[in-house]
Structure 1
Amino acid sequence: MTVVFDRPYEFVPPIRSTVWPWVIQRLRLYDFYLRRKEGVVDYELRGIEHLKDAVNAEHSILLAPNHCRYADPLVMGWPGRHLGIHVHAMASWHLFNEGKLDAFAIRRMGGFSVFREGNDRKALEAAIEILVDGRRPLIVFPEGTTNRTNDELKPLLDGVAFMARTAAKRRQKLKQDPATEATAGSGQVVIQPVAIKYLCVEEIDRWAKEQLDRFEMQIGWNRMPDRDLRTRTIQLAEAMLALKETQYYGHSCGGPLPERRDKLIDHILTVTEAEMEIERPSEIVRERVRNLRATASSRFFSDAYDGQAKLDLRRYVESADLAQDLSSYPDSYLMEDQATDTRIVETIQRLQETINGKADHSIPLKAVIQFEKPITVETGRPPKGQRDPMMQSLEDSLKSMLSDLSQEARRV
């Protein structure tokens, strides 16, 4: 997720018209985009009756999928087309700055911006209004950011529960007011858990060998002995870590990879926080990264910062992004008894993004989109000092579905 330094943030509201979404669905434009840009060539819907029942009951629906690939928002268009409905979606501000065509398409498909480097009240209010209205489901990715660990769920953001609960309270008030009762809708606000799992359509050996060969030649590893795909991928991940250790320490380190990764993440963030003269907000990597990015973004457009200072801010953000990227390499993802073809593909593509800035998407994928029973949003406050039971239910549902879906990948 890129911090936009070209211009200050300006909220991009959703377009309510359904004409453009209808045209885009009819022409199957996102099918073409997904196939060409993300390698997603097929899909399968499971448990779609849960979403259909919620739509028929006139519930206000917050769709809450896991977020492991950039393809996810467009993949969520397939269930909508199947049921003949349109959606709104909260999209990161940087996506509206990738190009005029992308910004045009995102808005016409129902997307609106959110500023992840700050408190975006306009985006929050837009999301709540969409849920109060209830005419179109709202897609919000509760993990907040993309990660390439399809089989593992990152911690969920509590803002999802706040939006849903606030909307439920407002709908309840509307129903109690005779003047607005007819426009309040008869259904409830519900959170619909959605698990997205990408499966490889064909054997990965040829694709993976080509990608690993390029990587090894890139770092000068010529005439290497024959090794299996898992071993080669792990060795390249270790080489990448050693490269980054040398960049930030001046030398590579020894020891288990998870310990080295965590030590490097903390070192990068600690040094960057010190150079920016800001306090550590918590021990959680995601919160520290967000604090660094938010501070850099706010300072960048201040008159007090000149050319060199702005270059330094860009460097700080790059360091924060690297720390977050390193945190997305799970400890046991490629253990011998757990490695699958999809995990090999994800790790190679993540390495490509870390080193080259872009992943190869020529491997064909099939998206399995699974729905679970919706969670009814209660208006009462969650227990003080305890995990929000609504978010716990969402987390449990997503983890259960992803665990089952992960078994469908081929073992390597």
Structure 2
Amino acid sequence: MPRASTQNACPALRRLPTRPSRMVQAVVSRLLPLLFRSQGLELSHREAAEGLARAFAAQQSGACNLLIAFRHPSTRDPVVMADLFWNQVPLAARRLKLQLPRPIQLRFLYDRGIPIWAGPVIGWLLQRSGGIAIHRGRLDRPALAQARGALAQGRYPLVVAPEGATNNLSGEMAPLEPGVAQLAFWAAEDLEKANDERPLEVLPIGIHYSWRHPNWIALQARLASLERHLGINCTDAGPDNPETTSRDRLIQIGMNLLKALEQLERLTPDPAQTFIERVEVYRLHGLAKAEAHFGLRAVGNLQERCRRIEQAAWDRIYRESVDQLPPLQRSLADWEAREADLQLTRMRLVEHFTSVSGHYISDRANFDRFAEMLLLVEEAIGWIEDKPWKGQPSLGPERVELRLGRALPVRPRLSQYRSNRREAMQLFMQDLEQALVAMMPDASRETATETGEL
């Protein structure tokens, strides 16, 4: 994930309003096929598009309200989903002779930090595509109220990624955040209070990336490049066992990366610890160090702790009335902003590196998983060295498959929600998690845990 290097304190972040534009949406929808063609990305979505066409036809006729929850393995997911909604669903509706009285418009939640690292143009496009910017590290009441209102009103489907952020792994899912369940129950309550009898349904969408033609030669060449960069003796891949050789080489590269990070953090590993245990120690140390800097309590899961660190860093980088500070106070604010940026970088690296381990590539030794782990390692090195890693040669063209799961009705769960909110939300999230996992073609049927065993 790209990041900005902060040298000075900046004016406070302002709320980004939602300013949907049909013209912008029309232009973007026409450009998306060209983008995919240039990237060699093949989309497979016929059944998902037809299922969504039926759902949108019902929603636009006033028969139901929709909350769409999609897997989020890649930063490319937003453009893939946009093509599905804006291009493929209307085509499917025409094939099925379904009436869509209005062009498909959506409301979706996105992280307020995206325009910071992706740039103002991306922020502008998100606003004009129906995006609702939300601060993930704090209770963002205005954004939640806007999303809740949109879902209850029902004119536009609300789209969310329950994982909260990408994990860059198509074969395993990160823990789901409870916000999607809370929004669903809030909106269901609002519908009841308004005597609105429309059902509220949650539609799960699975997204799975793979390489169309496994290129073991390119994979081995990039592994060799990493080994040279890290000073590891290269291992020649045997023609008969590229899976075993690639797995061993990736694990060795991960070990060398971990050793470098342990040296950076002055950590002395226990020789009896496994690789996974050492990753856990490194992760907890990095989070604790950032939390101590900001005076935060170490509570919650990995996602919650990372989001609080992120928000604390932003509070020191983006300040109210920073331009009105006296010179000395302004210099101190700049100093504090630089230190906050370093802690934010530490958190990002911890968050990213926990995906690098042997578990993911040992459970199912196939080209796709090796390639995903290779990209994670290259990106981690780019983070450490503060410059993008240019992986060559190309691993080849990719395919993305989209699947639509069974709709989860919300209103029948309201009585349970009123009697025991925590239990009702947990059960709902378990059902949603199962629906998303079931759509992963080669998933190990296990979700990521807080041990870092990805």
Q: 1:277 to 1:107 in 2, by over 3 A?
A: closer
The 3-state SS of whatever aligns with 1:366 is strand
Q: 1:8 to 1:340 in 2, by over 3 A?
A: farther
Higher mean alpha-carbon deviation, 214-223 vs 287-296, is at 214-223
The 3-state SS of whatever aligns with 1:386 is helix
| TM-score of the two chains, using structure 1 as the length reference | 0.86
Q: What is the CA deviation profile of residues 262-284 of structure 1, one whole-angstrom value per residue up to 9, with x for unaligned ones? A: 011111122332333332224x2
Query: What is the one-letter code of the residue matched to 2:33?
Result: D
Q: What is the CA deviation profile of residues 108-155 of structure 1, one whole-angstrom value per residue up to 9, with x for unaligned ones? A: 322231222322222212212221232222210001011012111111
Higher mean alpha-carbon deviation, 337-346 vs 69-78, is at 337-346
Q: Superposed, which structure 2 residues align to 1:258-273 within 5 Å?
A: 258-273=276-291
The counterpart of 1:96, out of the listed 115, 123, 139, is 115
The counterpart of 2:435, out of the listed 383, 393, 397, is 397
Aligned-residue offset at 1:190: 1.2
Query: Equivalents in 1 of 2:70, 2:349: separation in Å?
Result: 25
Partner of 1:320: 347
The 3-state SS of whatever aligns with 2:34 is helix
Query: Equivalents in 2 of 1:374, 1:90: separation in Å?
Result: 20
Q: 1:368 to 1:317 in 2, by over 3 A?
A: same
Aligned-residue offset at 1:387: 5.6
The counterpart of 1:242, out of the listed 220, 238, 259, is 259
Partner of 2:211: 200
Where does the alignment leave 5 or more consecutive residues of structure 2 unmatched? Answer: 91-103, 239-244, 323-328, 445-454
Higher mean alpha-carbon deviation, 70-79 vs 206-215, is at 206-215
The 3-state SS of whatever aligns with 2:361 is coil
Aligned-residue offset at 1:405: 4.5
Q: Superposed, which structure 2 residues align to 1:335-346 within 5 Å?
A: 335=362, 338-346=364-372
Query: Equivalents in 1 of 2:230, 2:442: separation in Å?
Result: 35
Aligned-residue offset at 1:191: 0.8
Query: Equivalents in 1 of 2:307, 2:120: separation in Å?
Result: 27
Query: Equivalents in 2 of 1:328, 1:236: separation in Å?
Result: 14
Partner of 1:133: 153
The counterpart of 1:9, out of the listed 3, 9, 13, is 13
The 3-state SS of whatever aligns with 1:136 is coil
Q: 1:23 to 1:312 in 2, by over 3 A?
A: closer
Query: Equivalents in 2 of 1:242, 1:114: separation in Å?
Result: 36
Aligned-residue offset at 1:2: 6.9
Partner of 1:163: 183
Aligned 8 A contact 1:114 1:123 in 2 = yes
The 3-state SS of whatever aligns with 2:314 is helix
Aligned-residue offset at 1:362: 5.7
Query: What is the one-letter code of the residue matched to 1:123?
Result: A
Aligned 8 A contact 2:219 2:395 in 1 = no
The 3-state SS of whatever aligns with 1:221 is coil
Q: 1:31 to 1:116 in 2, by over 3 A?
A: farther
Aligned-residue offset at 1:202: 0.9
Query: Equivalents in 1 of 2:49, 2:247: separation in Å?
Result: 35
Aligned-residue offset at 1:106: 2.2
Query: What is the one-letter code of the residue matched to 2:376?
Result: R
The 3-state SS of whatever aligns with 1:147 is coil
| TM-score of the two chains, using structure 2 as the length reference | 0.78
Higher mean alpha-carbon deviation, 3-12 vs 92-101, is at 3-12
Q: 1:233 to 1:145 in 2, by over 3 A?
A: same
The counterpart of 1:217, out of the listed 205, 208, 228, is 228
Query: What is the one-letter code of the residue matched to 1:33?
Result: L
Query: Equivalents in 1 of 2:278, 2:234: separation in Å?
Result: 28
Partner of 2:73: 68
Does residue 79 (structure 1) correspond to residue 67 (structure 2)? The answer is no
Query: Equivalents in 2 of 1:377, 1:218: separation in Å?
Result: 52
Query: Equivalents in 2 of 1:296, 1:229: separation in Å?
Result: 38
Query: Equivalents in 1 of 2:346, 2:135: separation in Å?
Result: 20
Q: 1:258 to 1:222 in 2, by over 3 A?
A: closer
Count of residues in Structure 1 that have an aligned counterpart in Structure 2: 392
Partner of 1:386: 423
Aligned 8 A contact 1:230 1:334 in 2 = yes
Query: What is the one-letter code of the residue matched to 1:31?
Result: P
Higher mean alpha-carbon deviation, 131-140 vs 345-354, is at 131-140
Aligned 8 A contact 2:224 2:234 in 1 = no
Q: 1:45 to 1:405 in 2, by over 3 A?
A: farther
Q: 1:130 to 1:375 in 2, by over 3 A?
A: same
Q: 1:210 to 1:3 in 2, by over 3 A?
A: closer
The 3-state SS of whatever aligns with 2:399 is strand
Aligned-residue offset at 1:164: 1.6
RMSD value over aligned CA atoms? 2.6
Query: What is the one-letter code of the residue matched to 2:138?
Result: G
Query: What is the one-letter code of the residue matched to 1:157?
Result: E
Query: Equivalents in 1 of 2:236, 2:347: separation in Å?
Result: 36
Q: 1:133 to 1:226 in 2, by over 3 A?
A: same
Aligned 8 A contact 1:195 1:370 in 2 = yes
Q: What is the CA deviation profile of residues 231-287 of structure 1, one whole-angstrom value per residue up to 9, with x for unaligned ones? A: 2222111111111111112556643111110011111122332333332224x2222
Where does the alignment leave 5 or more consecutive residues of structure 1 unmatched? Answer: 177-183, 408-412
Aligned-residue offset at 1:41: 3.4
Query: Equivalents in 1 of 2:353, 2:278: separation in Å?
Result: 10
Query: Equivalents in 1 of 2:361, 2:442: separation in Å?
Result: 17
Q: Superposed, which structure 2 residues align to 1:138-153 within 5 Å?
A: 138-153=158-173
Aligned 8 A contact 2:251 2:357 in 1 = no
Query: What is the one-letter code of the residue matched to 2:79?
Result: L
Partner of 2:57: 56
Aligned 8 A contact 1:61 1:191 in 2 = yes
